[in-house]
Structure 1
Amino acid sequence: MNTIAKWLFGIKDYRVLLLGDDSSGKTTLLYRLKFDSVPVDPIPTRYFEAEWVTYPATSEWYIWEMRTNREMQPLIFRELNPSLLVLWLHDCTRNEDGVPDMFERVLREMVRAGCRFIWVGLNKQDDPGVDSNTVRDARQMYEEVLLKYNGKISWKVLTHKLSGKTGEGAIEVLDEFHETVRRVGLIQRSEAAHQSDKEKESRAKQEPRPDADLSTEQLHTRLEEHIARDTLSADAFWTAFLAGELTDWNHYSYLRAIYFLILDSKNKGDVYAIGKEVSKALTRFKETSPHLSSDMPPHFSVTLSTFWTLQLERTIQLYRKSTMSEFLPSREDFAHVLRHTPFLMNRHLWVAHFRNDPDKRTGRSPDFFHKPDLRPLNMETEYLADPATLPVPSTGPDRLLRYAFSVMRHLRKSGTTQRGLGIEDALVSLQQATFRSRTLDESLPCYSETQAYFWILVVGAAMAVLDGLEKRENEKPVDGKRLSFSTFKKIFQIRPELWKEYYSKKVWEGIGARSKFVMPDRKPLPDAFPCDAERARELSSIDRSTDDEPHLPSSIEERLFRFRLLKREINDLDVAPALSEAITTHGHLLFYLYTAFARKPAPEEEGEKETTTLLLAHRARTLFSSITGPTVAGATARNFWIQQVGVAMSHCGRDQGHSTFTEFITRNAHLVLDDSLPAVYYSPRTWASAEARERIVAPDRRRMEMVVELEEEDREGESEEWVHVKTG
C-alpha cells in the first residue's frame, strides 16, 4: 500500500524478525499468517522469506523469516534495532536439552542493538508426540534464560497453543504484537526510516541520478559506446586491474571486474561469499590506483558489491539460457553477456531496493552485507546450472491437465502400489509450486484442490482405457507409459474447457473449491473416455518413432512432486544398510552418492582436501569402482549419475547448500528426474545400447560438465582409470 493510502486510512506498519532452528515451522507459520493456508511440507528456506501481513485492518506487519545458520547470523545481528519485533519459534518435537545456542546469542545482540521486544512461540503442539509436560518443560527452559534479561528486554513465552500447520493460535501471535505496539507506542517501520521532504530534495541535489531516467534504448547505446571504446583484451584488462594500472575507471569497467571475479571465485554458488570477495578486490584496486580515486566511491561496500554480483550472476544465467551454453561464459564473452541486460548500465539500479547509496552511507560498516530497506532482493540464482536442466514455467490453459498427465504417467511407470499417496503428494506439490509462483506473479490463478483433482481423475480415467488396449492379445500395443502429452490429447480429444461439462463456473472457481475437492454440480465424473483403438495404436506408433527428440525440462510442480516421492522413498530406507548394500532405486542412489561426497575428508584424502574439486574427483574415482546394483550396472549410467551429483556438490561450494540431503536435493531438483535427465545428454538409442553398459560412452546430444573424466586412451579400452580435469 502506498504512503498516501496509509496516511489516509491511518495504517501503521511494523517489522518482525521470525527466527528459530531449521524445521521449527517458520515458513509454515509465515504462509499461515499470509495466506491462511499452507502446503503440507513447505520448501526449505535457503536464506530468507519476506511477506506483508495485514492484521487488523489498520496494521501491516513486514515479517522476515530468516535462517539462523552460521552464514546468516551476521546479517541477523546487523538488522536488530529499536523498532524491530522478534519472534523466536521453538519446535516442541525437538529432543535436545536446553535452548539453542543461537537463541542466547540473539538475546545478547538485542541488548547491544537496543532491540527490546521478543516473543517465544512453542510451535507444533498439534504433534501426537507432544503433551502438556513437553510444552511445560519447554516454557520453563526458555523462561529460565529470559529471566537473566529482565530490565533489558521485554519478553514473553506465549502461553496459548500454537501450530502453524493447523493454524491454531497463529492469529493470537499477531494479537500479541498489536497489543504491545499499541501499549508502548512503538515507532513504525516507516517512521523509523522516514526522512523529511527537504532532506530528500537536498540529497537529490547533491547526488543526481540521471541514469534512472534513461530508456532501455539509451542504456543500450551507452553500452555499445563503451564496448567500442574498450581496447583492452580480457587478459590485458585483468592484468592491469590486479596491478592497479588501469588508466580509466567507469561503470562498465566496474561491471567487467565483478564479472571476472565471479568466474574466478572459489565460492561458486554463494552470492554472499562472492560479494565479500568482490568488495575486497575492489578495495585493493582502489588502494593501488590513487590516480583513479576521484572516479571511485569512498568505500566498495559488501552490500553494493553483493548487489551487483547478484545482477551479473542473473545476466550470466540469462545469457546461458538464450545461447543454451553447456558451460559458463569466458572472460572474452563479457560484452556479449552484458548485451543481454543493457539495463545494468544504469549505475543507480540499486535505488529500487535501498534508500541510500550503500557505498556512501555512513553509520554502517561497509564490511558487512545490509539487507535492502525498501524492497527485498531475491538472492536465488541458477547461473551455474546447465540451462537445459532448468524447469520450464508452466502456464496456459492446459497447465493443470499437463501436470495431471505427467503425474499419472509417472505413477504408472514407477509401478507404485500406493497410488493414493502418490496423488496426495501430487496435490501438495502443486499447492507448494502455486504458493511460490504467486509471490512473483499474482496473475497466476490460486491453487484449487477441486481443479487439480478433477484433472487427475480425468487423466486416470483415460489411462484406464489405455490399460485395456495394452492387454489385448494379437494387436499392436499402446504404450501409455511412454506416451507424450500431445499424443495423449490427440487420442482422447481432451480440451482445457472440459471442466465446463461437469461444473458451473460458480462452483469451479468458488472459494470452497480451493481447500477441498467439491463434486461436480452438472453431471457425474467420467469413468472412462471414448477412444478409437486403431487411431490410438497409430498415434502411439508415431510417438515411439519420434522418441529420439530431446526431452524438455519439467515444470516446477512436477519436480516438487518427484522430490516428494523421493523423500518418501528415502524415509523408508534403513540408513546403515542403505550405505553398504547394492543400489536398488534412484532415491537410494542419490542418497548414497550424496553421503559419499558430503562426508568429511578421511586420513587418506588429506592430500586432496586443498580444493573441493580435487576432493570430489578423488571420491568419484572411488565411487565408480565400488558402487554396485541394478540401477548402476551400466558403466555409462554409473558415470552419469556420479558426475551429476559431483558437479552439483561443486556448485554448492564446500559447506554451502548441502548441510542435509533434503537441502541438497531442494537446490538440485533436476537430479530427481531419473527418466528424463539422461535424455538431455544421451539419445535413448545410445543410453540403452550394449556399448553404454560395457564402458563409458560420451554424450551424443549435449556436452556435460564433469568433475572427472577418463583419459582418451582408456576410454576406448577396458581400463576404468580416472584423471582429474577442471570443471566448467
Structure 2
Amino acid sequence: MSTILRRFMNRFYRNNEYSITIAGLGYTGKTTMLYLLKLNEIVQTISSIGFNVESIEVPLRGGGQLNFTGWDVGTGCGNPSVLSMLIGSYTASADALIWVVDSTDREGLKDSVGTLQDVIRRTESERSEAGTPAQAFPILILANKQDLPEAQSIDTVRKAFATLLRGRNACVFKSAFTQPDTGLQDAFEWLSIALELASAGKLPQPPKHNPVADMRSVDTLTEKLESWLGRIEKDSNPQEFLDQFHSISLPAWDHYTHIRIAFLLLRTHGRQKGKDMIFSGIEKYITESSQTRGRTFHITMTYFWIQIVHLGIESKAPQVPLKFSNGSSTASTSSTDFEMFLLCNPYVADGNLWADFYSRDVMMSPAAKAGMVLPDKKPLPNLVIRDAI
C-alpha cells in the first residue's frame, strides 16, 4: 500500500491512539462489539458494508485505559471477497488486528481460519514493502457467542487456529457480548500488554510466507482508491464541484465523478430529493455535454450506484450520530468527508461492482437502460435493520 493511502488513513487517527482493525466473517458480532465498547450497551446494527470507525476507550484493571481507533470491517456489501482481501492493506498500517469468530458456525470455522491466513499474508507483504517489522503486530481472536448451547468449545477454536498462529504474537479468548461477563476485559488486558511489547520490539519472528499468488484484482482496486484520494486533494471543493456539475463543466466524466456527485447530493439533500437530483442532473449532463458523446442515460445503473452510495453513507449504528450534516447546502460537507467515505467504503471504487448482482445480459439490456430492472443474481443490499449479534 502506497504512502498516500497510509497518509489519508492516519489523518483520522488521534496521535495518542492505537489503530486497530476489527474483522472476521459475516454475522460474527464485530459491529456489536464496537458499539458495546463505545456505548457500553448492546445496540441494533445495520448489516455493515465498508467500515465503521470509532474512537474507543477501554478501562484496564490497573487503573489505566487502552485508547484506540477501531476500524470495523463490514461484510454486508455485495462484493465481500474483494473487501476481505483489502483488509490486509488496511491492517498493514494498523497496530493490531481483532478477529471475531462465530463459535456456533461449525462449517464457517475452517473458512475463518483460511480468510485470516490470507489477511495475515497480505498484511505481512504490505509491512515488508513499507519496512515495518511483521512481528510487531498483535492478533486477538475472539471466539464469540460462547453463551449459546451450540457453540464450539474455546479449545476447539484454539486448535483450529493453532498452526496459523504458531510463532506469532496472538491469543484466542472466549466472548459472549450479550452476557454480563462479556470476556472482553481479559481479552483487552492481553491486547494492551501485546501492544506495549510490539512497540518495544520484544516479539517472536513469525514464519515467512510466500506472497499471495493472485492479488492482481485487489492491487488494481487499491491503486484506484489511492489515485482517488490523491485526486481529492487537487479537486474542487464540494460546492464548486456541484456548481460544475449543474453548469455542465466538470473537468472529467468518469466513475470517480459519478460517485462524488452521488455522495454530495445524497449527503446534502437526503435519499429522496438527492435521488431525483442525481437522475435529472446526470440525464441532463449526458444530453448536453461534449464529454459524454456516444453515451446514453442508464436508469438501472444509476439507481444501482445510488443504492450503494446511500448504503455506504448510512451504514452506521443508528444510535450513534453520523458526522455529516443533513443541511440544505454543502457548506458543512468538506472534502475530508468524502475522503473518510472512501476509506470506509473502498468497494465503491470498483466500477464493476454491479456484476455481483446483475448478469451482463440483464444490465446491458434495452429494458435496463430505459427503466429500473431488478437484479437477476441476488437482491441489492438495503438498510433493513437487523440484530448482528
Same structural fold, with TM-score higher than 0.5 when normalized by the shorter chain: yes
Q: 1:155 to 1:95 in 2, by over 3 A?
A: same
What is the CA distance between 1:48 and its match in structure 2? 1.7
Q: Secondary structure at the match of 2:53?
A: strand
Name which of 233, 250, 254 aligns with 1:253.
250
Counterpart residue type for residue 361 of structure 2: E
1:333 is matched with: 284
1:64 is matched with: 71
Write out aligned runs for 1:476-555 (5 A): none
Tell me, yes or no, if the aligned pair for 1:89 and 1:121 is still in contact at 8 Å: yes
Tell me, yes or no, if the aligned pair for 1:32 and 1:165 is still in contact at 8 Å: no
Write out aligned runs for 1:419-498 (5 A): 435-440=317-322
Q: Distance in 1 between matches of 2:272 and 2:356?
A: 33
TM, length-normalised to structure 2: 0.55
Name which of 170, 193, 209 aligns with 1:155.
170
2:221 is matched with: none
Q: Distance in 1 between matches of 2:22 and 2:264?
A: 32
Q: 1:145 to 1:74 in 2, by over 3 A?
A: closer
Q: Distance in 2 between matches of 1:599 and 1:309?
A: 19
5+ long unaligned stretches in structure 1: 1-9, 188-208, 235-251, 262-277, 279-304, 336-380, 394-431, 444-597, 602-607, 618-642, 659-663, 671-728
Tell me, yes or no, if the aligned pair for 1:314 and 1:383 is still in contact at 8 Å: no
What is the CA distance between 1:331 and its match in structure 2? 4.2
Write out aligned runs for 1:214-613 (5 A): 252-254=249-251, 257-258=252-253, 261=254, 278=255, 305=256, 309-317=258-266, 321-322=272-273, 325=276, 328-331=279-282, 333-334=284-285, 384=306, 435-440=317-322, 610-612=361-363
What is the CA distance between 1:329 and its match in structure 2? 2.0
Report the identity percentage.
17
Q: 1:86 to 1:615 in 2, by over 3 A?
A: farther
Tell me, yes or no, if the aligned pair for 1:34 and 1:53 is still in contact at 8 Å: yes
Q: Secondary structure at the match of 1:438?
A: coil
What is the CA distance between 1:182 and its match in structure 2? 2.5
What is the CA distance between 1:184 and its match in structure 2? 3.8
Name which of 35, 43, 46 aligns with 2:46.
43
What is the CA distance between 1:59 and its match in structure 2? 3.7
Q: Secondary structure at the match of 2:322?
A: coil
Name which of 141, 163, 172 aligns with 1:120.
141
Q: Secondary structure at the match of 1:610?
A: helix
Name which of 72, 76, 85 aligns with 2:96.
85
Alignment of 1:177 onto 2:191: yes
1:556-615 deviation line (CA, Å, top 9, x unaligned):
xxxxxxxxxxxxxxxxxxxxxxxxxxxxxxxxxxxxxxxxxx9999xxxxxx85233649
What is the CA distance between 1:440 and its match in structure 2? 1.5
Q: Distance in 2 between matches of 1:34 and 1:186?
A: 28
Instruction: Tell me how many residue pairs correspond in the alignment.
Output: 269
Counterpart residue type for residue 439 of structure 1: P
Q: 1:37 to 1:613 in 2, by over 3 A?
A: farther
Tell me, yes or no, if the aligned pair for 1:328 and 1:384 is still in contact at 8 Å: no
Q: 1:163 to 1:253 in 2, by over 3 A?
A: same
Write out aligned runs for 1:3-42 (5 A): 12-39=16-43, 42=45
1:135 is matched with: 154
Structure with the higher fraction of residues in strand conformation: 2
Tell me, yes or no, if the aligned pair for 2:22 and 2:71 is still in contact at 8 Å: yes
What is the CA distance between 1:25 and its match in structure 2? 1.1
Counterpart residue type for residue 61 of structure 1: F
TM, length-normalised to structure 1: 0.31
Q: Distance in 2 between matches of 1:125 and 1:119?
A: 16
2:295 is matched with: none
Tell me, yes or no, if the aligned pair for 1:19 and 1:88 is still in contact at 8 Å: yes
Q: Distance in 2 between matches of 1:36 and 1:16?
A: 19
CA RMSD of aligned residues (A): 4.7
What is the CA distance between 1:45 and its match in structure 2? 0.7
What is the CA distance between 1:51 and its match in structure 2? 1.1
Q: Distance in 1 between matches of 2:81 and 2:280?
A: 31
Q: Distance in 2 between matches of 1:327 and 1:211?
A: 20
Q: Secondary structure at the match of 1:436?
A: coil
What is the CA distance between 1:442 and its match in structure 2? 11
Counterpart residue type for residue 306 of structure 2: L
Tell me, yes or no, if the aligned pair for 2:169 and 2:194 is still in contact at 8 Å: no
Q: Distance in 1 between matches of 2:115 and 2:85?
A: 12
Alignment of 1:667 onto 2:373: no
